Structures are given as structure tokens and as C-alpha cells.
Amino acid sequence: MAAVRTALFSRQQPGGVFTVDDLGEHGGNIWFVGSDVSGAEDGAGFGKNPDAPFATLDYAIGKCTANNHDVIYLLPSHSETKSATGSLWAADVAGIHIRGLGRGADRPTFTFSHTGAATTITAASVTLENVVFVAGIDSVTAPLTISGADWTLKDVEFRDTTDIEFVKGPTTTADADRGHVDGFLYRGYKDGNACTIGISLVGCDGCIVENSVFYGEFSTACIDFTTTSCHNVTVRNCTFYNDNVALTKNILDSATSSTWQVHDCFDGKGGYSFSGGSAATVASDDVSGLTTIVGAVTSTQTSDLNGKIGTDAEMNDISLYDLLVGAGPTTAPSAAAAGDDVSLYEVTRHIQEDLLGTASATTTDSINGKLGTDAQMADRSLYDLLVGDGPTTAISGAALTTDVSLYEGVAYLQDSVLGTSTDTTTDTIWGVLGTDAQYADRSLYDLLVGDGPTTAIAGAALTTDVSLYEGLAYLQDDVIGTSTATTTDTIWGVLGTDAELADRSLYDLLVGDGPVTAPTGAAPGNDVSLYEVVRKVYDNQAGSCFWVTKAFTHTAVVSTAADVTGTSSGALVIEEVILDNSQTAMDSAGDGADIDLSVTNATHAISAVFATLDGDGLVTNATFSGTNGDLTTFYPVVLESGKKVQIAAGDENFTSNGEMQVHIRFRRMSTAATVSAA
């Protein structure tokens, strides 16, 4: 049977007691601090056993290993006091958990008896839990400053006493992102005058403050976004009692432009819940006014909702649903036209009985009378007359005039105006358009879209007695022309023939594949195309690269610098250097001379030399790349506008007669910046 695995494990820390631990709680070393334990000492052999703990927290922090999940236990009744300016302790080891043991008055306590006494959390991922900060003198300015990210304050209390207060509680810097405050208690002095802020968040992003209580006199705010805007801050399930003022100084964005939200919180000064944030003004969640708005079911006035709907007596104990959808009123009111003191029910009944009328109406006083009675309609609906079977007896056509129906007018249009396809006169539309014979049995669709005329007509410029077909043929043949046009008399000739365009469309040239052979760039001028100008701009744009090559005989590389390039126009970045030596090895008089490449920059040039090749490596037929690590030293450098690149022998002149080529790749920092070989 396989062993059951748990989160527990046994160990004995060297010098400590044998323990069975929860791996989730104690991933690293465990240290104990207890000033109240007899014999406690900051030194070797202490701190690993609660019976022989360290005396101070700061010493224990110094024994921790960064990011090792070490835990420091502050034993019950442990206390430390700072009576001078400076730090009582500094949590400067990442990933540690400082956990106080004990409840109530037995919790570990830090007392600040000097206005400049302080503590700090500077490392990341530090948790401080179940400790008490006590003001031992009035106006302690910075009892806890947090600058490490991913910090946690769990069940931490700040305590003022009568006329002895902290100026601020915990204060962050802009580096202290993703903080978590849970179970924080600021037990202030509500008649005091020194305290300004309970928690001061400075440029702190992604923080959560929850399950906390603030009580006292906070002249600025219980929680303040100070100096630098904070973002994505959430405050929830907290209680505030700021005796200075209700609501407006619970949470304050002094820095402005912060993004934050508060919900499920209570203001003890005002006696109400509140919510809000940067997207909506913080306001109370008071719902006590709803009773006044709704009113009672016996209300006799329209200042409340029940009064507007109607009392029990007026509604006859029938719901709005019954009146609108269900059983209806117990006594139906008579019909009445819309007017003062006339209900919707009365108006609806008026529409039904007086305006719509009945199917047997014999006058035109109602809609049914205007449409026609059952007898007049011959039991045919409007749908039948307009879409379906039509009238039982068709009526002859007549031109529309007095006492002529729409049906008669439509019949007239069909028979007398449209005519038939065999009409031989122009008295009807068929006659005007042309008979079957004239159209050679071709429809207008055929002539416009389909087969076209049986005999094509030659083109002619549009004028009197020239048809649209002839005009279109003229446009096709004489104006547009063909793709083989050799003159500019037609549009094809103006655009270019198939041969000139290399079988590429204007779309290809402007959007698609481009020309078959791309011309090089050129500045605007006579006989210069738009493509050449655009190519010129593209090739010289900021960020584009180009190479410059300069050849030197070995004897030209001497200790006096020689120009590799001319003067640059605009700033350029030197990204790569390649030295290509000929079949002759480079030799100097004393052997071992170096080759140095430098820039003549006037400013920002800590060292003008940006590439060096040790002379011992200048062998026959060799290539050396800066970015490939072949050179002794190489780093990219900016060649300033108006400057040049030079080459020189580092120690002594070269004497051999071979040739070396210097290739340099430049990247433009500004448009049109360039340089050429010297």
C-alpha cells in the first residue's frame, strides 16, 4: 500500500529543536526573537530555539537568506524601543515573513520614543504580521516606510495615546507596488492634532486595503494617495471613523489622477455605508429614503409611488397586471375621447367602439365603415384584394379621376398605357420601346447585359441621330483604345502599352508587385518619375542602413590617423565593422601593432576608439567581424553630424604591401543622414 503524502515534514535545523513542520508555512529557515526570554542574545548559538532566541528583530533579519522563505517568529511580549533618530530595524532581505505571536497585550510591540525613530521595509515580498506600533512621543514622523514591492501587512496595529500621536502610519514609495493590507487597525486619538494620514500610498500601483479599521483625527485622510498618482487601488470591507469630517476624508486622492475604487465600507462618523472611486464620486449608500419614495398602499397623495399608482380602494384590490393583461377592472368605465381626467382605459375603449367600428358599419364614421362592409368587400380581405385572389368580378380599366378606383386605374395602366409586345404604334410603352420584330427577339436585358444586338453597329461620337450603342462603341474603339496603342491619341496610349508596363497593371505598380525592374532613387527633377523620388525618400529615411567600404594598403595604416570616411551629414549609428585582409599578412616594424578605428566626435565621446584588432591576429586572407566577436574590442557608437571615421596603427606603422578593406555598416538616426568613403 502506497504511503499517504501530507504537507508535513520533519527536520532539525542545526542548533535548533527537532520539529514537524508544514512545508507551506516553513519553506526555509525558522528564527526566533524574544526580548522577554531570559538570556536572549544576538549572537552565535541563539535564534534557532524559542528557549534561546535572538534579542532583536534587526539581528534576526540579518541571519535570513533572500528568497528562501525564511520565517522570523517574534515571541509573545517581545518589545523593542527606539529613543533616538534612525531605524529600529530594516527588513532588507527579500521573501521573509516576520510573524508576531500572542494576542492582545501579549503581541510583539515596537515603541517610538523619538520623532525621528523609524523602521523600513526595503526588500521585495516581505510580510509583517501581528505586531503593534506604539507612539511613545508626540509627532513621530515616519514609523514605517515601505519601498519594496509585493509587501503585506497582516493584522498590524498602529496605536496613539492621549496627546501622543504618529504624524503618519505606514508610508510607501513609488517602488512599493502590489501591496496588501489586511486586518490593519489604526487606533488613533480623536481629540489629537498631530496625525495627518493613516496610510500614505505614494505612486503605489495594484494595492489592496481590506478588512481594516481607522479611528482617530486624520487631518488629511485615513488613506491618502500622496504626491504621485496611484493606480488600480482597491479598498473594501473597511470601517472609518475620522472625527475631522465624515466621508470626504476617509480616502483622498491628493496626488490627483489616481485610479481606484472603494466598496462595502462604513463611515462611523456619518453612520452610513459608502462606495465610489475615481470613476464615480464617493457617496453614501443610504437607502432610508426609499420608504418615503414608495409610500403606503393607503396613500392619498401623488408625492409617493403608491399614491401615483392608486390606493387599495381605488384599485379595487386588482393588480396592474390584471388591469393591463389579466382580468381587467371589476367595473369597466365607458368610452371617452382623450382629454383632461380621462383614463387610458376610457380612451382605448373609445378607439375600439367609436373609431374602429364593426364589420357591419354602414357609414364612414369608423375605420370599418371607410374600408367597406362585409357585403361590399364580398367577404374578401384587403390582403385578397392587394395580393391574393383579387375581386370576385374584375373591373374594366379607366384613367384615374373622380369616382375611379385604384383597381380601375391599374387595369388602365396595364391595358392602355403599357400595351402588348405586338403593338405597331407608339401609343403604348411597348410601341415606344419597340416591337418583337424591331428587337429581333432580344430583350432590353440582352441589349444591356446579355447577347447584345444581332448585328453590331459601328461607333460614332454622340450627336443627333446617334444611338447610345454607337456612342459606347466610339468610346471603346477611339477614346479608350487598345493595349497595343503606340500613340497618345487614346487612353491606352497615354497610360502606356503592354510592352511599356511590362504586363503590370497600375494596381501592381501602386499597390501590388511593383515594377519588374525597380529604378534607383533620384531627387525630383526633369525626367524623374514619382517612383524614383519615393525610392530616394525611402532609402534615406531614419532607421535605414547602408555600408561604406574603404580599401587601404598596409603601409597606409600608420600611427597618424587616416580617414576612412568623409564628413557625415546627420547623425549615424555604427552597427558593424568588418576588416577583410588580403592574401598578405600585415606586418609592422616591431610586429604586433594594433589597428584602431575611431570617430572624431566633439561631444559625448568618452573614448573615440570604438574598434580594435590585435596585430597578432592579422594573418593572411582573414576576415574579422565586430558583432561576431572577431575583433579585440568593438562596441556600437554614434557618429555625430559633421564628423568622420579614421583608422590608425595603435603602436607602430605597418610595413607590408598587402591590402585591407574596411567595411562599416551605418544606420541613419535622422532622414537623409549619410556619409561616404574618404
Answer whether residue 136 is part of any domain.
yes
Whether residue 60 sits in one domain with residue 84 = yes
Residues 173 and 219 reside in one and the same domain: yes
674: in domain = no
Average pLDDT, the chain: 86
- Over residues 181-229, the pLDDT tens digits come to 999 999 999 999 999 999 999 999 999 999 999 999 999 999 999 999 9
**Residue 418 lies inside a defined structural domain of this protein:** yes
The answer to whether residue 364 sits within a structural domain is no
pLDDT-derived band at 5 (thresholds 50, 70, 90) equals very low
Indicate whether 50 and 89 sit together in one domain: yes
Is residue 205 situated within a structural domain? Answer: yes
Cβ partners under 8 Å of residue 273, min gap 6: 264, 265, 266, 267, 284, 285, 286
Place of cell 566626435: 601
How many domains in the chain?
Answer: 4
Q: Which of 407, 436, 454 is the last residue of a domain?
A: 454
C-alpha torsion 112→33→124→121, nearest 10: 10
Which among 559, 545, 557 is positioned nearest to 666, based on CA atoms?
545
83 and 124 in one domain? yes
Give the span between the Cα atoms of 407 and 382, in whole angstroms: 12
Neighbours of 514 (CB within 10 A): 12
User: Is residue 47 included in any domain, yes or no?
Assistant: yes
Given 207, 227, 247, the domain boundary residue is: 227
Whether 552 and 618 share a structural domain = yes
Question: In terms of domains, do 504 and 588 share one?
Answer: no
Which three cell numbers, joined as nine digits, stand for 100? 508576531
Question: In sequence order, which residues have a C-beta less than 8 Å from that of residue 665 and are 6 or more positions away?
Answer: 545, 546, 547, 574, 575, 576, 577
Residues 6+ apart with CB under 8 A from 310: none
369 part of a folded domain: no
Same domain for 460 and 445: no
CATH number at residue 585: 2.60.120.340
Q: Quick one: 472 and 438 in the same domain? A: no
Mean pLDDT of 312-331: 72
> Which of 435, 454, 473 is a domain's end point?
454
3-state SS string for 114-171: CCCEEEEECCCCCEEECCEEEECCCCECCCEEECCCCCEEECCEEECECCECECECCE
The model's pLDDT over 83-134, given as tens digits with 9 standing for 90+, comes to 999 999 999 999 999 999 999 999 999 999 999 999 999 999 999 999 999 9
Task: Kindly indicate the confidence band of residue 365, based on its pLDDT and cuts at 50, 70 and 90.
Answer: confident
The three-state secondary structure class of 283 is strand
pLDDT tens per residue across span 248-295: 999 999 999 999 999 999 999 999 999 999 999 999 986 655 566 667
Place of cell 470613476: 279
Q: Are residues 574 and 664 in the same domain?
A: yes
**pLDDT at position 290:** 59
Please check whether residues 475 and 488 belong to one and the same domain: yes
Please, which residues bridge with residue 73 across strands? 32, 99
* Measured distance CA(430)–CA(411) in Å, rounded: 16
pTM of the model: 0.47
Residues 498, 579, single domain; the answer is no
Using one digit for the tens of pLDDT, what is the confidence trace for 622-667?
A: 898 989 988 989 999 999 999 999 999 877 788 888 898 999 999 9
Question: Residues with Cβ < 8 Å from 557, sequence gap 6 or more?
Answer: 586, 595, 647, 648, 649, 653, 654, 660
Q: How far apart are CA 164 and CA 139, in angstroms?
A: 7
User: pLDDT by residue (tens digit) across 139-164?
Assistant: 999 999 999 999 999 999 999 999 99
- Structural domain contains residue 368: no
pLDDT category at 16 given cuts 50, 70, 90 is: low
C-alpha cell at 600: 572624431
Judgement on whether residues 439 and 460 belong to the same structural domain of the protein: no
Domain extent at residue 417: 394-454
